[in-house]
Chains A and B, each alone.
Chain A
Amino acid sequence: AAGVIQSPRHLIKEKRETATLKCYPIPRHDTVYWYQQGPGQDPQFLISFYEKMQSDKGSIPDRFSAQQFSDYHSELNMSSLELGDSALYFCASSPAGGYEKLFFGSGTQLSVL
């Protein structure tokens, strides 16, 4: 069965650079969630989209932005990267209905040097 696909798997950037993370949800899933997980921490909710519109916003820094495209894939854009942005970034997708389970991708490991 198709799963949530995230790319790239690993990303190394320098401070003040920009990064773009991509998420391809499971087919027919129209809701996407983004999470950030620092070392030894719990996943922190960043932002979610439903039908290409932002549906909720968590602790996402102003330097970050995200969108969901017409094919339902989503991209998380991160600018002016800081050392503290080094983390595992997960994307999850869910079918319409609001109360269905989430399916998570394997994550993108971002290292900021």
Chain B
Amino acid sequence: DAKTTQPNSMESNEEEPVHLPCNHSTISGTDYIHWYRQLPSQGPEYVIHGLTSNVNNRMASLAIAEDRKSSTLILHRATLRDAAVYYCILRDVENFVFGPGTRLSVLP
């Protein structure tokens, strides 16, 4: 399985942008980069995904490095409800493996 590396934890102030990094140096050409988040006592929730180009949706933006060995999830204005564990996952066709994510704390 392709591996990802993320910081254990990050902190942000409310209403400020947050940049969550992910390294995936062993990514293959067909691996999609997915981001999910998990709030306490809830199932993981899809945030965004992409292959090569940067992606935007109503929740976040995904910036993918040109060599695809790293990516950054961008929350444009963090709210208290964004406090969660964020997982960066390389999407293989058959399996979908969570690694240690980044616990994001949002300070009021």
What residues make up the interface of A, taking CB atoms closer than 8 Å to B? 4, 33, 35, 42-45, 48, 50, 55-56, 58, 90, 92, 98-99, 101-107
The answer, among A4, A42, A98, A101, for a CB contact under 8 Å with B101, is A42
Given the interface pairs A42-B87, A42-B100, the reply to whether A99 lies near B93 with Cβ below 8 Å is: yes
Does A98 lie within 8 Å of B93, measured CB to CB? yes
Within 8 A of A (CB), among B71-106: 85, 87, 91, 93-101
Q: Count how many chain B residues have C-beta atoms less than 8 Å from C-beta atoms of the other chain.
A: 22
Shortest beta-carbon distance from B46 to chain A in Å? 4
The answer, among A4, A98, A101, A106, for a CB contact under 8 Å with B94, is A98
In the docked arrangement, what's the CA distance between A33 and B98, Å?
A: 12
Does B32 lie within 8 Å of A45, measured CB to CB? no
A50 surroundings in chain B (CB, below 8 A): 94
Does A106 lie within 8 Å of B96, measured CB to CB? no
What residues make up the interface of B, taking CB atoms closer than 8 Å to A? 32, 34, 36, 38, 42-46, 49, 85, 87, 91, 93-101
Shortest beta-carbon distance from A91 to chain B in Å? 9
In the docked arrangement, what's the CA distance between A106 and B43, Å?
A: 5
Does B95 lie within 8 Å of A56, measured CB to CB? yes
Does A45 lie within 8 Å of B97, measured CB to CB? yes
B97 surroundings in chain A (CB, below 8 A): 45, 58
In the docked arrangement, what's the CA distance between A75 and B22, Å?
A: 34
Extra contacts besides A42-B87, A48-B94 (11): CB < 8 Å: A4-B43, A33-B96, A42-B98, A42-B101, A56-B95, A58-B97, A90-B44, A98-B94, A99-B32, A102-B46, A106-B42
Does A45 lie within 8 Å of B43, measured CB to CB? no
In the docked arrangement, what's the CA distance between A44 and B98, Å?
A: 7
A101 surroundings in chain B (CB, below 8 A): 34, 46, 49
